[in-house]
Structure 1
Amino acid sequence: MKRSNVATGIICTLNITLFVYAAIAKLLDYYNFQFGLTESPFIAPFANVLAWAVPASELIIAALLVIPATRLAGLYASFVLMSLFTIYIAAMLLFGSDIPCSCGGVLEEMSWGTHILFNCFFVALSAWGIYLQRKRRRTPTNLPALA
């Protein structure tokens, strides 16, 4: 197995673990998660929808990452979702809101600064996975033969 395949597998496994863990933590403590969303000045109007949409999105992304044929889509989705989470946290910090994290589980124990670094790590990991997957798809052995 090529190194890039191993690296992509590790990247996907880390993302799957993160998303499944975070989604389950949110669903198991649904009411606290939903309440945390209602406390945010940015997303309070959408809290009821987001309380289901966020964990559902995380589980869908994890499923996309499991299936080799949809892995690239899963990596793109992971990149976008983690980027959005990071932008949200940065906005919270910039505007000085003292809102508790509603991530669920041990993730909500992180400081906002640590959370940004954690998220940036997963954004970079997803970007690297995208690069590796796209590079793998362009190799001569994967290209269709011309007639």
Structure 2
Amino acid sequence: MISSKKYIPKSAFFIKMLFVVLFLYTATSKFLDFQDFKVQIGKSPVLSLTADWLVWVVPLSELLVSAMLLVPRFHFLSLYASLVLMVGFTTYIILILYFTENIPCSCGGILESLGWEEHLIFNLSFVLMAVFAILISDYRLKKTRFD
């Protein structure tokens, strides 16, 4: 029989590393093409009023959460922060897709090639992974404390 004790921590670690890669990639992409990112955010019918500060807050938040994900002390906080970011990004996509007429493109790099529906599925997958990592980490922590 395969022991879950061996695979649960590895699953959470793997998910954390996926988030590190995702957030580092997207933040870097935004900073490398900062002017375009700024213009696209400014065109957004949902974000235009907050575009001036969001162009800095979003990529800096992605970098901060990436760093937190690498520090074991911030295990739970970083997973919850990842979940919050992904829920925010997913909510934005839902608002753009279903409640606006003008659909801007503000993603860079590889993610730019995804359509909005595909991007929504991609984001929802990461939301589910964050929830899963939180749940298995919490289960493991409780099990270790009471065994």
TM above 0.5: yes
Q: Which residue of 2 aligns with 1:103?
A: 107
Q: Which residue of 2 aligns with 1:71?
A: 75
Q: Which residue of 1 aligns with 2:126?
A: 122
C-alpha offsets along residues 57-97 of structure 1, whole Å, 9 cap, x if unaligned? 00111111111110211110111110111111111111243
**How many residues end up aligned between the 2 structures?**
142
TM-score, normalised via structure 2 length:
0.91
Gaps of 5+ in 2: none
Distance 2:8 2:120 in 1: 27
Task: Say what the alpha-carbon RMSD is for the aligned residues.
Answer: 1.3
Distance 2:90 2:6 in 1: 32
Structure 1 residue runs of 4 or more that deviate by more than 3 Å after TM superposition: none
1:62 to 62, 66, 84: 66
Gaps of 5+ in 1: none
Greater fraction of residues in helix: 2
Distance 2:61 2:116 in 1: 22
Are the aligned partners of 2:45 and 2:102 in contact in 1 as well (CA < 8 Å)?
no
Q: CA deviation at 1:38?
A: 0.3
TM-score, normalised via structure 1 length:
0.91
Are the aligned partners of 1:39 and 1:99 in contact in 2 as well (CA < 8 Å)?
no
Distance 1:39 1:21 in 2: 23
Distance 1:93 1:34 in 2: 20
Q: CA deviation at 1:99?
A: 2.5
